[in-house]
Amino acid sequence: MDISILLRNTEAKMQASVEALKKELTTIRTGHAAPALVEHIKVEYAGVPTPLIQIAGVSAPAASLLVIQPWDKSSLHSIEKAILKSDLGLNPVSDGNVLRINIPALSEERRQELVKVVRARVEKERVIIRNLRRETMDELRKLEKDKEMSQDEMKRTLDQLQKITDKFIAFAEQTGQNKEIEIEEV
């Protein structure tokens, strides 16, 4: 096996993992309205759980307001029900054509809870990245054992792997810090 391919594959997996973290953190509510807050919510549509973004347009015309315009008016009630069932604590108001959601300011207590959620998710990401590193290290050790690479090459490769790992852990931590700053803004 080519070592550079192994490292590139590991780096790609770490990159995908950090991207998933970024996407997940956009769903954590701050005091600002953002369409990403509700786009992922699954709505029962034609008997199939469907992401909200696939059945409605979501916009944020003001800093504390989301407007959801379903493409099929008959799905309005299902969308409203799905939002109420989500753990976001949002209360949509329907006028028969669109849903409006006022995003209330966060209390200090809720901000602290959200910061804890962000930190826990970032820690989970660190574990995922370290597990990817461990899997790659196991493959490298197998290559060394099978005499497909020298000890010197193994040491250089492990150093490269550690640098890649450190880079993605730093990305994850920075993403978490940015989200914490966003949550703390009043």
Give Cβ neighbours of residue 131 (< 8 Å, ≥ 6 apart). none
Question: What is the CATH number that goes with domain 3-26+107-184?
Answer: 1.10.132.20
**Chain centroid offset of residue 174 CA:** 13
- The per-residue pLDDT string of the chain (186 residues; one tens digit each, 9 = 90 and over) reads 688 899 999 999 999 999 999 988 887 767 677 788 888 889 888 888 888 888 989 888 887 888 999 998 888 888 988 888 887 777 888 888 888 988 877 788 878 888 888 999 999 999 999 999 999 999 999 988 988 888 899 999 999 999 999 999 999 999 999 999 888 875
Q: Yes or no: say if 129 and 172 are a contact pair by the CB < 8 Å rule.
A: yes
**Domain 36-102, architecture per CATH:** 2-Layer Sandwich (3.30)
Domain boundaries, the chain: 3-26+107-184, 36-102
Q: pTM for this one?
A: 0.70
DSSP-assigned beta bridge partners for residue 49? 44
